[in-house]
Amino acid sequence: MKRRLDRLLHIRTLLEDRSRLALETRVAATRALELAARRERQLGDGNGAAALRLLTAGEDTESWLQRIADGEILRWKETRLRAFAEASQAALEEARAVLLAHRLERRQVEALLALARRAEEKEAVRREQTRTDDWFQSGSSAGKRPRK
């Protein structure tokens, strides 16, 4: 029984480790998406400011129109990246729930294993006590025999 529980504990530990790696991967992917969205936002803001400077300076309309178009493209990219980050956030929560479920299962197996070990220890103590009692009983009955 103990061997089966040890094997089950090993499997549950591996599952928990696998879930932890999946969660860490999801966290890294979500952070990368959020960082990319932030970077696109900053680039878009910079292009908007540059377009405004070109417009107020009286530069040719083509350069500031190009800057405005670039800014629109960057805002579109930011919107898409934020949407991906939000979708990734849902997957992140799911991966966290799976990790917590595997952790709970591992802890339950650990508790069962601890109970089995305590039961084995109690059984060993009981057997040793029985052997000791038997030895004393056999020794005391041998002492009652008449001597020749």
Q: What is the pLDDT of residues 118-140, one digit of tens each?
A: 999 999 999 999 999 998 888 76
Q: Give one DSSP letter per residue of 66-81, joined into a string.
A: HHHHHHHHHHHHHHHH
Q: What is the CATH number of domain 2-138?
A: 1.10.287
Name residue, tokens 């932890």: 20
pLDDT the model gives residue 59: 67
Residue type, 27: V
pTM of the model as a whole? 0.66
Could you state, in order of their start, the residue ranges of all structural domains in the chain?
Answer: 2-138
pLDDT the model gives residue 15: 93
Indicate if the alpha-carbon torsion angle 119, 123, 124, 129 is positive or negative: positive
Q: What is the pLDDT of residues 39-54, one digit of tens each?
A: 888 888 787 777 777 7
Q: In this predicted model, which residue has the larger pLDDT, 140 or 12?
A: 12
Q: Which helix (H) or strand (E) holds 23?
A: helix 2-57
